[in-house]
């Protein structure tokens, strides 16, 4: 490796808005983050489940073909 071209490597504290602190190694001195694994809904189990089936049905009603149009096209001779 070449000398004097690499950034300095520090032991750094990462501080979250929730108050959690973690020690890591980084080229930045101190880091302040908004969300971490201690307060993120996915990791804490407070995640909301989204009704994706309802969204797909709403999209199909608005933009998609109706089922009657699809069945007519499937039964029509070519």
Is residue 60 in a domain?
Answer: no
Is residue 12 in a domain?
Answer: yes
Q: In which domain, by residue range, is 43 found?
A: 1-48
* Confidence category of residue 26, pLDDT binned at 50, 70, 90: very high
Distances in Å between the Cα of 35 and the Cα atoms of 2, 7, 24, 70, 76 are 37, 27, 16, 46, 56
Structure confidence at residue 30 (pLDDT): 86
Over range 46-65, report the average pLDDT. 74
Is residue 54 in a domain?
Answer: no
> Where is pLDDT greater, at 2 or 65?
2
Is residue 29 in a domain?
Answer: yes
User: Are 14 and 29 within 8 A, CB to CB?
Assistant: no
What total number of domains does the chain contain? 1
- Domain harbouring 39, CATH code: 4.10.80.400
Task: Give the containing element (helix H, strand E) for 71.
Answer: helix 67-75
């Amino acid at each position: 490796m070449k000398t004097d071209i690499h950034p300095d490597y520090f032991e750094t504290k990462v501080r979250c808005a929730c108050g959690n602190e973690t020690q890591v190694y980084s080229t930045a001195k101190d880091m302040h983050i908004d969300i971490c694994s201690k307060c993120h809904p996915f990791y804490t189990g407070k995640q909301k489940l989204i009704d994706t089936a309802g969204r797909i049905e709403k999209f199909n009603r608005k933009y998609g073909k109706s089922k009657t149009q699809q069945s007519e096209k499937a039964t029509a001779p070519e």
